[in-house]
Structure 1
Amino acid sequence: MNIAIWLFVVLLVVAVLLGAVIGFFAARKWFKKYLEKNPPVNEQMIREMMRQMGRTPSEKQVRQILSSMNQYK
């Protein structure tokens, strides 16, 4: 009876570790795929957003916004 309990505990620990490893790689693959579809904000996106708001941004404004966004990453 005692051996059965230890076997169950060992199998449970192995299953949890295996699940964690598989989960890590699955999440990594999903996140890479997500970043390909939705890339991080770049200068061109900032310019386009400002144009949609009715403003024509200068290069200095674009770089200020980009640096302030990168500061919070």
Structure 2
Amino acid sequence: MSTLWVVLIAILALIAGVALGFFIARKYMMNYLKKNPPINEQMLRTMMMQMGQKPSQKKIKQMMRSMNNQMDK
């Protein structure tokens, strides 16, 4: 009977640890991406120039704002 309790507690602890680890890692990555966005204005400007567009500051700001709004959702 005591072996059953040990196995049951071990399984519950494993499930709780996996769930807690997932949520902590998710929260960490969300904060990391918010502080260090994967695309900045210079990268956006370079991409637009490679596509043959002449980027204006207004267009770049508009695209950055729309990307930030997408990340907030």
CA spacing shift, 1:16–1:41, aligned 2, 3 Å: same
Between Structure 1 and Structure 2, how many residues are aligned?
63
The structure with the larger Rg is: 1
User: Which string of whole-angstrom CA distances, capped at 9 and with x for unpartnered residues, describes residues 13-44 of structure 1?
Assistant: 2333445566677x57xx6xxx7xxx611100
Q: How does 1:52-67 map to 2 (within 5 A)?
A: 52-67=50-65
RMSD: 2.5
Q: How does 1:1-73 map to 2 (within 5 A)?
A: 2-19=1-18, 40-73=38-71
Unaligned runs of at least 5 residues, structure 2: none
* In structure 2, distance between residues paired with 1:52 and 1:66: 18
Q: Which amino acid aligns with 1:64?
A: Q
| TM-score using structure 1 length | 0.64
How many percent identity over aligned positions?
40
Unaligned runs of at least 5 residues, structure 1: none
